[in-house]
């Protein structure tokens, strides 16, 4: 133990976990140390590079707040979030696929009735949506909680707008009716860049990557007896569908956003300019 070198240190560290009472924790820590040490040896990490890595992780933690999770953003842009999602949500054929949760969900979204405008004054073209939630046999899932959130036309979520304070925009929670449907007004989604003013942005710039996400709506759907589904609906024909910075696109999640000319809207309100409609079915897997 007094003559540990680069060849023996991995086994020495792993041995320190021998008495870990939690078998799963022991497995995770053993794998982490094994792969971390192999990575350091493979790239022959220098001391200045190690110091830079420590600064990067420190900056990432310091960028986090109640309204921004830079570590989730880092995980997303490295593909780790989508890998964890894919490993843990292998639903049966026919069920809607899951994708990344993202860093901008909040637990204080307003509870809204059918037909509500979740945009609540956020900038963007109107979207009139009807989403049907069913089980694998096509039967409606009644009373499912559908948590929705999205960026506005300027590519910002409400939590990125300090002028709003605690007021929420472009998000809301609705419940499916007796036909398993929700109807709501939202914003036509547009592509937007993930935040690039922090360490993750510096990483993207240094590696020559773009920061853009294709236009989408976020959903989290929960209902008794069903697996919770976290997913997106992506806007068809978006230029970033094949290069999403967080690797979250699935072909089955690309939806048709039908253009609607200026005219009375489907909810009876007057639309002064262009809008879109969306009709989509989401299929839940059993718990």
Residue 207 pLDDT > 90, yes or no? yes
Per-residue burial over 56-67, b = 16 or more CB atoms within 10 Å of its CB, e = otherwise: eeeebeebeeee
Q: Which 8-state DSSP code applies to residue 264? A: B
Please give the backbone phi and psi of residue 130, each rounded to the nearest 5 degrees, phi first. -135, 120
**Reduced to 3 DSSP states, what percent helix, strand and coil does the chain have, rounded to the nearest 5?**
30, 25, 50
Q: Are 143 and 171 in contact (CB under 8 A)?
A: no
Residue 1 pLDDT > 80, yes or no? no
Bigger pLDDT: 90 vs 125: 125
- Per residue in 220-253, pLDDT tens? 999 999 999 999 999 999 999 999 999 999 999 9
Please give the backbone phi and psi of residue 166, each rounded to the nearest 5 degrees, phi first. -85, -5
Task: Count Cβ atoms below 10 Å from residue 131 Cβ, excluding itself.
Answer: 23
From 105, 106, 42, select the one nearest 76 (Cα to Cα). Answer: 105
Q: Tell me, what's the pLDDT at 261? A: 72
**Range 101-125 average pLDDT:** 93
**Range 123-147 average pLDDT:** 97
Q: Tell me, what's the pLDDT at 272? A: 73
Q: Which residues pair with 217 in a beta bridge?
A: 233
Minimum mean pLDDT among 23-27, 156-160, 164-168, 263-267: which range?
263-267
From 76, 81, 99, 80, select the one nearest 211 (Cα to Cα). Answer: 76
Q: Tell me, what's the pLDDT at 66? A: 82
- Per residue in 46-69, pLDDT tens? 999 999 999 999 999 999 988 789
Q: Tell me, what's the pLDDT at 98? A: 96
Task: Count Cβ atoms below 10 Å from residue 148 Cβ, excluding itself.
Answer: 23
């Amino acid at each position: 133990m007094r003559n540990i070198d680069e060849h023996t240190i991995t086994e020495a560290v792993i041995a320190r976990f021998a008495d870990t009472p939690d078998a799963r924790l022991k497995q995770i820590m053993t794998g982490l140390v094994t792969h971390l040490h192999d990575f350091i040896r493979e790239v022959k990490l220098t001391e200045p590079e190690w110091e830079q890595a420590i600064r990067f992780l420190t900056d990432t933690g310091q960028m986090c707040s109640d309204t921004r999770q830079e570590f989730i953003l880092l995980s997303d842009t490295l593909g780790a979030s989508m890998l964890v999602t894919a490993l843990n949500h292998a639903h049966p054929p026919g069920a809607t696929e899951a994708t990344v949760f993202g860093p901008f969900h909040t637990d204080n979204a307003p509870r809204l009735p059918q037909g509500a405008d979740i945009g609540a004054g956020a900038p963007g073209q109107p979207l009139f949506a009807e989403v049907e939630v069913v089980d694998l046999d096509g039967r409606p899932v009644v009373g499912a909680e559908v948590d929705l959130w999205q960026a506005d036309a300027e590519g910002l979520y409400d939590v990125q707008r300090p002028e709003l304070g605690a007021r929420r925009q472009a998000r809301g929670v609705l419940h499916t009716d007796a036909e398993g449907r929700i109807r709501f007004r939202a914003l036509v989604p547009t592509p937007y860049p993930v935040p690039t003013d922090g360490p993750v942005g510096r990483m993207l710039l240094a590696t020559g990557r773009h920061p853009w996400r294709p236009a989408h709506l976020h959903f989290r759907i929960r209902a008794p007896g069903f697996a919770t589904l976290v997913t997106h609906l992506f806007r068809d024909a978006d230029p970033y569908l094949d290069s999403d910075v967080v690797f979250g696109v699935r072909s089955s999640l690309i939806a048709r956003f039908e253009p609607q000319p200026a005219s009375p809207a489907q909810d009876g309100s007057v639309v002064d300019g262009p809008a879109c409609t969306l009709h989509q079915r989401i299929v839940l897997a059993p718990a």
